[in-house]
Amino acid sequence: MDVMTAVLTRRSTSVLREPAPNDEEFRYLLQGAATAPDHGRLRPWRWILVRGEQQEVLAGCLAADSPDTAPDHIRRSLRRAPLKAVLVFCPHTGHKVPEWEQLAAASAMAQSLILLLHARGYGSKWRTGRLCTSGTLAERLGLNGPERLLGALDVGTADSVQPAERRAPADVRGHLSVLD
Ligand SMILES: Cc1cc2nc3c(=O)[nH]c(=O)nc-3n(C[C@H](O)[C@H](O)[C@H](O)COP(=O)(O)O)c2cc1C
């Protein structure tokens, strides 16, 4: 798949099933994604892979911090994909590369990974919300110091056997100018 085709046929997929990449395949794709632009080559991020029964542990953490939401609702929302890849931002504080650039590098890596997954036939969806704000989850995942949760990538295989249609290229008028 050429890169433009990968970009134009990618979709966020809400419900995913097996197969998802195993740990080894995820690592292989991440080795590619980790070459995304990154000022200072700091790699200010890490992924934590959560599958099967461990997803229940995530649900329990989120439920503990969301007393107004039915635990079943949270549990169901975590069963939407066989693999939840939790993304942790690990900023190098006080570094000459400011934190916003490090966050941009983490985002560039994540998008590269999403495209690599897609080109290999896997669907994904980046989810944030409760996953970013749960102190119980952060503690359970062993976040240190300035580390922050950037949500999780749901990963698996889309139900549809039809390949996603190629999207029309976006209208970027108003988002591009040429200085003269
Ligand atoms: C940083 C980030 C956070 C996101 N968080 C959520 C989320 O919490 N829930 C959700 O349904 N989609 C989330 N998305 C996915 C967007 O909703 C999705 O990309 C958008 O709807 C466009 O769909 P597309 O990816 O198919 O183009 C997130 C995307 C990004 C980049």
Task: List the domains of the chain with CATH numbers.
Answer: 3-7+15-158 (3.40.109.10)
Q: Scanning the structure block, which residue is given the tokens 């989850």?
A: 137
DSSP secondary structure letters along 133-144: H-HHHHHHTT--
Nearest Cα residue to atom 11 of ligand 1: 127
Contact predicate 128/86, CB 8 Å: no
Residue 128 beta carbon below 6 angstroms from any ligand 1 atom: yes
Distance (Å) from CA 37 to ligand 1 centroid: 22
Q: State the pLDDT at residue 114.
A: 98
Nearest Cα residue to atom 13 of ligand 1: 127
Q: State the pLDDT at residue 160.
A: 79
Nearest Cα residue to atom 19 of ligand 1: 12
Contact predicate 12/126, CB 8 Å: yes
Q: State the pLDDT at residue 179.
A: 95
Q: State the pLDDT at residue 155.
A: 98
Q: Which tokens in the block code for residue 131?
A: 């996953």
Helix axes 99-119, 23-33, angle to 10 degrees: 130
Residue 126 beta carbon below 6 angstroms from any ligand 1 atom: yes
Per-residue CA distances from 18 to 110, 115, 149 (Å): 21, 19, 25
Q: State the pLDDT at residue 21.
A: 98
Q: State the pLDDT at residue 118.
A: 97
Residue 11 beta carbon below 6 angstroms from any ligand 1 atom: yes
Q: Which tokens in the block code for residue 57?
A: 């542990």
The tens-digit pLDDT sequence of the chain (180 residues) is 899 999 999 999 999 999 999 999 999 999 999 999 999 999 999 999 999 999 999 999 999 999 999 999 999 988 899 999 999 999 999 999 999 999 999 999 999 999 999 999 999 999 999 999 999 999 999 999 999 999 999 999 998 777 789 999 999 999 999 999
Q: Which tokens in the block code for residue 95?
A: 């570094």
Nearest Cα residue to atom 25 of ligand 1: 12
